[in-house]
């Protein structure tokens, strides 16, 4: 008899964004004439930068000629891309990262979901609340939690991000082994200072814990005093893995390219306390289960770091951040508390309504799709998230509709 992994039965009915997509599809079916503006899932809407497209085309042409054709590439990524990443995203900011510590992949979602495979079933996991659901769901699938009740899984240490702590969680009161942090934060759009991040690094060092630092939105940081990488913090190389993505800064959500940094000094332990480099373990996993990102996509990603690519990306990010500023202004003007939108493309909006009711109200009365905060965890109840990823015209129209529906 084929039996299932029963931990899957503990999961909530469906992945948050699939759930929202289903509700929106039902609304559209019932209201065929109504135009819906999507400020829900953080999916980019603008075309790939010209520099990326040119590199992409050129690489496709190389694949069309026997003399330049490429078959399997290195699973970890081509050295041209790994070197560009290490130089521009880290060394240029004074953070020590070597090219061979960069693992190119098809998404930060996959990497943040897959990496927990390296750790023992019994570790104590600390996860922010609210949180990008992938961190939590993949630990549920792996059997690190008990059942779900009242918005929480038993066995998880929740790191609450609330208005009271300015959406940056405090250190856990109990000892944990694995810590997920995401800054600029999805969903709240909040940021962490160097000093705050340094306290987490120190905690991890003191407790031989590991931080999984999701920096997929680093390119949206406008305040140069804020850290873009955890490796800007002294001592982080031994205790942190970092995830980055080309999805949001360069519009690669449909093209797929991301990377994970695993420093050579970063250690985890066996039951007897023996030290093991995570670099070797992740390399083993990556090369066994992943066959690399396609050559043309990696060439397109490399172009992000050319002079013209950098300028085009800056323009792209600025465009979305102007949307974010507009959303934050309108929401503030309507009298709602909000955070985010200054160094992140998300605006986290508090209200006295239930967040799914708020979602329904915006959909029905304004034809605007948001993400209900409750889908990100118990601390998201009463909140919704608006994303800045859409055209200016659509954001302006959506804000006009919100003014009418909520004003």
| 344: helix, strand or coil | coil
Q: Contact with ligand MLT (CB under 6 A): which of 82, 109, 286, 342? A: 109
Query: Which residues make beta-bridge pairs with 178?
Result: 125, 210
Torsion sign (Cα): 13, 133, 205, 176: negative
Q: Contact with ligand MLT (CB under 6 A): which of 20, 42, 236, 249? A: 42
Helices (H), 208-254: 247-250
Q: Which is nearer to ligand MLT, 107 or 292 (CB)?
A: 107
* Cα separation, 199 vs 170, whole angstroms: 10
List the one residue out of 294, 238, 227 whose CA is nearest residue 73: 294
* C-alpha torsion 239→185→130→374, nearest 10: -150
**94 in the Ramachandran plot: left (φ > 0), alpha (ψ -120 to 50) or beta?**
left
Q: Which is nearer to ligand MLT, 132 or 180 (CB)?
A: 132
Q: Which is nearer to ligand MLT, 49 or 375 (CB)?
A: 375
Query: Residue 395 has which token pair?
Result: 């954001």
* Cα separation, 264 vs 93, whole angstroms: 19
* Cα separation, 165 vs 188, whole angstroms: 12
* Piece in contact with ligand MLT (CB under 6 A), picked from 40-48, 82-90, 94-102, 148-156: 40-48
Q: Which is nearer to ligand MLT, 186 or 355 (CB)?
A: 186
Is position 41 an interface residue for ligand MLT (rule: CB under 6 A)?
yes
* Piece in contact with ligand MLT (CB under 6 A), picked from 35-43, 158-166, 220-228, 336-344: 35-43
Torsion sign (Cα): 119, 120, 121, 125: negative
Q: Which residue's Cβ lies closest to ligand MLT?
A: 42
* Cα separation, 254 vs 135, whole angstroms: 21
* Piece in contact with ligand MLT (CB under 6 A), picked from 36-44, 161-169, 206-214, 290-298: 36-44
Query: Residue 176 has which token pair?
Result: 């944990």
Q: Which is nearer to ligand MLT, 42 or 189 (CB)?
A: 42
Query: Residue 283 has which token pair?
Result: 């390399």
Binding mask 119-138 for ligand MLT (x = CB under 6 A): -------------x------
* Piece in contact with ligand MLT (CB under 6 A), picked from 5-13, 38-46, 274-282, 325-333: 38-46
* Piece in contact with ligand MLT (CB under 6 A), picked from 37-45, 68-76, 193-201, 262-270: 37-45
Q: How far is the CB of 386 from ligand MLT (least distance, A)?
A: 11
Q: How far is the CB of 42 from ligand MLT (least distance, A)?
A: 3
Q: Which is nearer to ligand MLT, 185 or 298 (CB)?
A: 185
* Piece in contact with ligand MLT (CB under 6 A), picked from 41-49, 172-180, 221-229, 395-403: 41-49
Q: How far is the CB of 44 from ligand MLT (least distance, A)?
A: 9
CA distances to 82, 92, 96, 307 from 85, in Å: 5, 10, 12, 14
Q: How far is the CB of 308 from ligand MLT (least distance, A)?
A: 26
Q: Judge whether 184 and 317 are in contact, CB under 8 Å.
A: no
**Within 204-263, which residues bind ligand MLT (CB under 6 A)?**
none
Helices (H), 108-231: 108-114, 133-141, 194-207
* Total number of residues that touch ligand MLT (CB under 6 A): 6
Binding mask 182-211 for ligand MLT (x = CB under 6 A): ----x-------------------------
CA distances to 27, 30, 43, 60, 256 from 361, in Å: 12, 15, 22, 46, 33
Q: How far is the CB of 248 from ligand MLT (least distance, A)?
A: 7
Binding site for ligand MLT (CB under 6 A): 41-43, 109, 132, 186
């Amino acid at each position: 008899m084929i039996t299932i992994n029963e931990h899957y039965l503990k999961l909530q009915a469906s992945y948050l964004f699939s759930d929202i997509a289903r509700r929106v599809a039902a609304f559209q079916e019932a209201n065929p004439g109504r135009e819906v503006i999507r400020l829900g899932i953080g999916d980019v809407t603008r075309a790939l930068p010209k520099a990326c497209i040119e590199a992409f085309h050129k690489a496709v042409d190389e694949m069309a000629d026997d003399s330049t054709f490429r078959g399997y590439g290195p699973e970890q990524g081509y050295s041209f891309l790994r070197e560009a990443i290490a130089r521009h995203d880290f060394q240029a900011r004074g953070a020590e990262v070597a090219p061979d510590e960069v693992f190119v992949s098809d998404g930060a979602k996959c990497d943040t979901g897959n990496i927990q495979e390296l750790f023992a079933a019994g570790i104590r996991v600390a996860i922010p609340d609210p949180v990008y659901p992938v961190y939590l769901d993949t630990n549920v699938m792996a059997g690190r939690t008990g059942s779900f009740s009242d918005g929480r899984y038993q066995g998880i240490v929740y790191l609450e991000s609330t208005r009271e702590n300015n959406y940056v969680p405090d250190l856990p009161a109990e000892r944990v082994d694995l810590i997920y942090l995401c800054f600029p934060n999805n969903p709240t759009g909040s940021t962490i200072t160097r000093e705050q991040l340094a306290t987490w690094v120190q905690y991890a060092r003191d407790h031989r814990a590991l931080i999984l630092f999701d920096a997929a939105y680093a390119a949206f940081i406008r305040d140069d005093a804020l850290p873009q990488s955890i490796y800007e913090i002294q001592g982080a190389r031994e205790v942190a893995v970092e995830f980055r993505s080309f999805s949001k800064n360069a519009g690669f959500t449909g093209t797929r390219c991301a990377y994970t940094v695993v420093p050579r000094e970063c250690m985890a332990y066996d039951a007897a306390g023996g030290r093991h480099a995570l670099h070797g373990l992740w390399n083993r996993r990556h090369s066994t289960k992943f066959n690399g990102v396609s050559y043309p996509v990696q060439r397109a990603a490399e172009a992000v770091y050319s002079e013209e690519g950098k300028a085009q990306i800056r323009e792209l990010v600025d465009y979305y951040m102007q949307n974010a500023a507009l959303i934050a202004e309108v929401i503030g003007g309507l009298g709602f508390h909000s955070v985010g939108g200054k160094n992140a493309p998300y605006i986290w909006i508090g209200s006295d309504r239930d967040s799914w009711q708020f979602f329904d109200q915006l959909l029905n009365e304004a034809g605007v799709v948001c993400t209900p905060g409750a889908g990100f965890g118990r601390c998201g109840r009463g909140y919704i998230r608006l994303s800045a990823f859409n055209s200016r015209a659509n954001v302006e129209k959506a804000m006009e509709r919100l003014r009418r529906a909520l004003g």
